[in-house]
Structure 1
Amino acid sequence: MRRKTNKQQKNKRDIFLKIRITEEELEAFQRKYKNSRCKSFSDFVRRCVFDGLILLIDKEKMQGLYSMLNSINNNVNQIKVRVTKNDDAYADDFKEIEKRILEIWRILFFFQKLAPRE
């Protein structure tokens, strides 16, 4: 069986989709299109729609994660104060723990930025 050429595939796309956007949104689309490797703007928009990532983030669960991480952070700080009061032997261990907690915060803030604004 022969594969259809691009022209034959394009001929099947005979429905036009019209959307309303602001000037700023159009500029953002055009800027992203220029940075993409798509052959046409239409191809770029189809790729955004079909391959794009849409995240639905539950704000209550995210707030729960913030609270838990904050509690862990506070506990680690309290342990650090008690342990290092007399001995600084665990300083490197606590630096590693703090580094990992900071990375978790970064991940949470990253997902917060991706969440749609209401």
Structure 2
Amino acid sequence: MCNMTGSRIGIALGYRDSGGWVTEGWWNLSAKGCETLLKGALAARYYYVFAVDYDRGGEWSGRSLMCTRDREFTIRGVEDCLARGYDRNGFFEVDTGEQKSWTIQLTDPGRAAP
């Protein structure tokens, strides 16, 4: 994951493994920084991302509703987030095309990645 913005951001990931849906967070990326979030070969084709801009506000989100919380988390399942005491956020889908590695670049809204 690469943060191509001038702000610090927080990243949450969602994916499906052998036990079902999992969401994990938070990875903190500095401005213009990159970090490997998942070690080794990717195990799924589709991953889901929700990110927040700590410095300027705003978020990168989508339509896939998954569970999060304010502090570090690993949450099994995407159902009944609020009833289970979690927050619920919309994640955007990333199709890796079954590649074994993938890099996502988050850019400022309305600006293309260099």
TM-score range, shorter chain: under 0.3
Could you say which structure has the higher strand fraction?
Answer: 2
Normalised to the residue count of structure 2, the TM-score between the two structures is 0.18
Could you say which structure has the higher helix fraction?
Answer: 1
Which structure has the larger Rg? Answer: 1
Normalised to the residue count of structure 1, the TM-score between the two structures is 0.17
